[in-house]
Amino acid sequence: MTGTEETPAQASGPTFRLAYVPGATPAKWVRIWNERLPDVPLTLVPVAAADIADALRAGDADAGLVRLPVDRTFFSAIPLYTETGVVVVPKDHVVAAVEEVVLADLADEIVQHPLDDVLPWEGALPGQPALERPATTADAIELVAAGVGVLVVPQSLARLHHRRDLTYRTVTDAPGSDVALAWPQERTTDQVEDFIGIVRGRTVNSSRGRTTAPEKSEKKAAKKPVARKPTAKGTGRPKPGGRGQGGKPQSGGKRGKPRKRS
């Protein structure tokens, strides 16, 4: 589904527009959305990585799968996953003979750095610089296929621009690319909340915080008083030495001496 755009049927109810950058893979979440919310059409809006922040600010989409960083004073963002960096090389390149490399292995290579590069490089760029930076990643791929240098990109972009004459290998110390769900803080709609629940793995019955659980209608039944059996009159607790029920002397009491008759 990456690289395509879905056009929903015309509907008078709510809709949800999800922008996404090249390489992002919304297919799994879109499938869950369609299963849970079949009456709310979801439209996918492909946007270049450099333009997606402006598209969300302008309201061209409700939320987007973006590459971090984003302006956290304007956007809310939920990190989703981190992509591994890989180096794209011709299939007959020496790098193709190994499973993985480090940036130092590319020190003598011309490393293409397109103007739309999405990797968060810190400090000096790896490898030898090209005479001119290509405008896009697609242009850089064409140069690599022509034998002009190599290219380090997130793995999803290497797959997106796959060619039969090229391959890629993991660069263990290359910076990763963090993909996140982002949306304008002031425009957190119900549909955005629905999609947040999906990407966070909430079940269909989970509360999203915008609905309240129904109150319990059943109340605990009051305890019925226990009926006591009626007692005979005057059957209270006898005093020591007194007579109990029926006029019989209470056990343990002292008997008085009988008087002599005169």
Task: Give the domain 85-175 fold.
Answer: D-Maltodextrin-Binding Protein; domain 2 (3.40.190)
| Per-residue confidence (pLDDT) for residue 226, from 0 to 100 | 56
Per the listing, tokens 């020591």 go with 240
Domains 16-82+178-199 and 85-175 share a fold: yes
The one-letter code for the residue type at 176 is G
Map residue 12 onto helix, strand or coil: coil
pLDDT attached to residue 8: 45
Domain ranges, ordered by start, for the chain: 16-82+178-199, 85-175
Looking only at the bridges linking them, the beta strands covering 16-20 and 63-67 are parallel
Can you give the pTM of this predicted structure?
0.72
Tell me what pLDDT residue 86 has: 98
Burial 144-166, CB ≥16 within 10 A → b, else e = beeeebbbbbbbbbbebbeeeeb
Show pLDDT as tens, one digit a residue, over the chain (262 residues).
444 444 444 446 899 999 999 999 999 999 999 999 999 999 999 999 999 999 999 999 999 999 999 999 999 999 999 999 999 999 999 999 999 999 999 999 999 999 999 999 998 899 999 999 999 999 999 999 999 999 999 999 999 999 999 999 999 999 999 999 999 999 999 999 999 999 999 887 764 544 333 333 344 444 555 556 555 554 455 555 555 444 454 544 445 555 555 4
pLDDT for 230 equals 56
Q: Which CATH architecture has domain 16-82+178-199?
A: 3-Layer(aba) Sandwich (3.40)
**Which residues, at least 6 apart from 105, have a Cβ–Cβ distance to it below 8 Å?**
95
DSSP SS3 for 100: strand
In sequence order, the β-bridge partners of residue 20 are: 46, 65
